[in-house]
Amino acid sequence: MNSMNRRHFLSGIATGSLALAAPNRLFAQTKPRILIRGASIFDGQSPALVNGMDVLVENSIITAIGESLSADEAEIIDADGRVLTPGMTDAHTHIMWNDTIENLIFGSPHEYTGAMAAESARRMLLRGFTTIRDMGGPSFGLKRAIDSGVVPGPRILPSGFFISQTSGHGDFDPRLSYLSPHFAGQLDPAYLRGWTIIADGVPEVKKAVRETLRYGAAQIKIMGSGSITGAHDPLDVTEYTPEELSAIVKEAEHWGTYATIHAYTDVAIYNALQAGVRSIEHGLFASEETMQMMKDKDVFYSTQFLSFSVGPEQAGMTGDSVPKYLEAQAGATNGYERSKALGLKMSFGTDILGTIDLGPFQSQEFLARTKYYEPVEILIQATSLNAELFERSGKRHPYKAGPLGLIEEGAYADLLLVNGNPLEDISLMANPDEGLGMIMKGGVVHKNTLS
Ligand SMILES: [Zn+2]
């Protein structure tokens, strides 16, 4: 071994031992055993509460559920009859998006974006959300910091880069004179900052999906149609060809996971279903036939209710966005009614983004759904049904130690104690500061206002 190799060898050891040092968990105290005593359990699936139950948590997992469990060396949390639910989950977030998209890709420093996202994650956890499926944005670093136990926040199933065609919904650069790298131009700043890969044609979309999976994406997010706020694409635009969509889906499947799609137009949704996409985001203009196809193919409908239950002004729309918003809102009512009548698998997702102060609207989604669903249906959507959607990430699912969204032995100890019965009064979930007495994620207590 020459001296050069030896130096490398030694520095390798030094790096390794630093990496092994356990991060300090400064935000909450960890106990190996916690006994939650005397809870009424909503298990995430059954509409009936089970009263007077104890739940034993060991490390990050629920290990026993029953009456009068032994409290051997366990820390006791006395539920005093409160309702114990699984942690809530959100199937459509953009945890990194706490700024205008122009600032995110041009203006704000990376570290500002990261710091705001960390605070956004902490607040989200304190609203009772213990897992999110992130529908686009560079969330891999935040996920790592949260999973290591240093930064408080929900579990993240990241999508990473949006896969978008040129001038598609992920083509964020507002400059028309922007030169594509293919024509001796410059790299897309949204690519450099981890937001979008612009890919056209089968070979490019394959490469884009492979690159995204390299980062650790749990699923692939396609931008498949125009939208209300896009820089270039009107609401009526259908993006990607069936061949491109099929190529994306196949690449995702080769990695054991699936693709989901931002799609409004009926053609975009139809093409996506034919290609094997497993979840439709927004999907508001799907015809009855296309919705029936979603049902037949067991595809999740991942739409939002709060976003379209307010006026354009309250939704933050200005200028050109206002008529597009109103058009989408009209489609929304149809979409909600059709999907409800067909009994589609409806996930619980909010798509709240833009500034950190908008975060509390995430909890208002519980109320916005009461026009169409009973509280128990909404709670099932936000727990076990979302968890079923997350399972579609298969081998790329980052949290495989037990089920999410359920209270059962072997499940992750992601638990909330509610100060009342959310099956009767869902507004408890919409007001988490008052409504939630205890928030636990993976056996770590992040909030406890009980004795
Ligand atoms: Zn979104």
pLDDT tens for 61-88 read 999 999 999 988 899 999 999 999 999 9
User: How would you list the strands of the sheet with 88-93, edge to edge?
Assistant: 88-93, 129-134, 155-157
How far is the C-alpha of 60 from the C-alpha of 37, rounded, in Å?
17
The pLDDT, as a whole number, for residue 25 is 47
State the distance from the centre of ligand 1 to the C-alpha of 135, rounded, in angstroms: 6
State the distance from the centre of ligand 1 to the C-alpha of 111, rounded, in angstroms: 22
State the distance from the centre of ligand 1 to the C-alpha of 349, rounded, in angstroms: 9
The pLDDT, as a whole number, for residue 321 is 82
Question: Rounded mean pLDDT of 107-127?
Answer: 96
State the distance from the centre of ligand 1 to the C-alpha of 220, rounded, in angstroms: 13
The pLDDT, as a whole number, for residue 166 is 86
State the distance from the centre of ligand 1 to the C-alpha of 15, rounded, in angstroms: 38
The pLDDT, as a whole number, for residue 13 is 37
State the distance from the centre of ligand 1 to the C-alpha of 242, rounded, in angstroms: 22
Q: What is the CA radius of gyration of the chain?
A: 23
Question: Rounded mean pLDDT of 140-159?
Answer: 98
Mean pLDDT value across the chain:
90
CATH superfamily of 33-87+404-448: Urease, subunit C, domain 1 (2.30.40.10)
Instruction: Say yes or no to pLDDT of 20 above 60.
Output: no
Residue 393, both tokens: 């990430």
How far is the C-alpha of 342 from the C-alpha of 298, rounded, in Å?
12
Instruction: Say yes or no to pLDDT of 425 above 70.
Output: yes
State the distance from the centre of ligand 1 to the C-alpha of 303, rounded, in angstroms: 10
State the distance from the centre of ligand 1 to the C-alpha of 59, rounded, in angstroms: 34
The pLDDT, as a whole number, for residue 168 is 86
- Looking at the chain, the domain(s) classified CATH 3.20.20.140 span 88-167+199-396
Q: Who contacts 361 (Cβ-Cβ below 8 Å, separation ≥6)?
A: 306, 350, 352
State the distance from the centre of ligand 1 to the C-alpha of 170, rounded, in angstroms: 11
Confidence of residue 228 (pLDDT cuts 50, 70, 90): confident
At 121-146, the pLDDT tens digits run 999 999 999 999 999 999 999 999 99
Instruction: Say yes or no to pLDDT of 22 above 50.
Output: no
State the distance from the centre of ligand 1 to the C-alpha of 11, rounded, in angstroms: 43
The pLDDT, as a whole number, for residue 9 is 36
- Is there a contact between 96 and 135 (Cβ–Cβ < 8 Å)? no
Question: Rounded mean pLDDT of 241-269?
Answer: 97
At 25-70, the pLDDT tens digits run 445 555 579 999 999 999 999 999 999 999 999 999 999 999 999 9
Residue 396, both tokens: 């790329």
Confidence of residue 358 (pLDDT cuts 50, 70, 90): very high
At 373-422, the pLDDT tens digits run 999 999 999 999 999 999 999 999 999 999 999 999 999 999 999 999 99
Residue in 313, 372, 315 with CA at minimum distance from that of residue 348: 372
Residue 449, both tokens: 């206002």
State the distance from the centre of ligand 1 to the C-alpha of 259, rounded, in angstroms: 14
Residue 218, both tokens: 């749990």
Confidence of residue 171 (pLDDT cuts 50, 70, 90): confident
- Looking at the chain, the domain(s) classified CATH 2.30.40.10 span 33-87+404-448
State the distance from the centre of ligand 1 to the C-alpha of 65, rounded, in angstroms: 37
H runs (alpha helix) in 51-127: 101-102, 110-126
Residue 314, both tokens: 């309250």
State the distance from the centre of ligand 1 to the C-alpha of 235, rounded, in angstroms: 15
State the distance from the centre of ligand 1 to the C-alpha of 355, rounded, in angstroms: 14
State the distance from the centre of ligand 1 to the C-alpha of 353, rounded, in angstroms: 8
At 313-347, the pLDDT tens digits run 887 788 888 888 888 888 888 889 999 999 999 99
What's 238's DSSP letter?
B
Instruction: Say yes or no to pLDDT of 371 above 70.
Output: yes
H runs (alpha helix) in 21-109: 101-102
Residue 363, both tokens: 């909890």
Cα 205 to Cα 100, 243, 244, 279: the distances in Å are 27, 10, 7, 19
Write phi, then psi, for 102 (nearest 5 degrees). -65, -45
State the distance from the centre of ligand 1 to the C-alpha of 74, rounded, in angstroms: 42
How far is the C-alpha of 151 from the C-alpha of 107, rounded, in Å?
25
State the distance from the centre of ligand 1 to the C-alpha of 290, rounded, in angstroms: 21
- Is there a contact between 417 and 36 (Cβ–Cβ < 8 Å)? yes
State the distance from the centre of ligand 1 to the C-alpha of 387, rounded, in angstroms: 18
Instruction: Say yes or no to pLDDT of 185 above 70.
Output: no
State the distance from the centre of ligand 1 to the C-alpha of 82, rounded, in angstroms: 34
The pLDDT, as a whole number, for residue 29 is 53
Instruction: Say yes or no to pLDDT of 17 above 70.
Output: no
Question: Rounded mean pLDDT of 197-221?
Answer: 96
Q: Is it true that domain 88-167+199-396 has CATH number 3.20.20.140?
A: yes
What's 419's DSSP letter?
S
State the distance from the centre of ligand 1 to the C-alpha of 223, rounded, in angstroms: 10
- CA–centroid distance for 199 within its chain: 24
pTM of the model: 0.90
State the distance from the centre of ligand 1 to the C-alpha of 91, rounded, in angstroms: 10
At 186-196, the pLDDT tens digits run 778 899 999 99
State the distance from the centre of ligand 1 to the C-alpha of 221, rounded, in angstroms: 9
Write phi, then psi, for 327 (nearest 5 degrees). -65, -45
State the distance from the centre of ligand 1 to the C-alpha of 149, rounded, in angstroms: 27
State the distance from the centre of ligand 1 to the C-alpha of 93, rounded, in angstroms: 6
Higher pLDDT, residue 89 or 311: 89
Residue in 327, 219, 316 with CA at minimum distance from that of residue 282: 327
State the distance from the centre of ligand 1 to the C-alpha of 137, rounded, in angstroms: 10
State the distance from the centre of ligand 1 to the C-alpha of 262, rounded, in angstroms: 7
Instruction: Say yes or no to pLDDT of 184 above 80.
Output: no
- Ion ligand 1 neighbours, Cβ < 5 Å: 135, 351
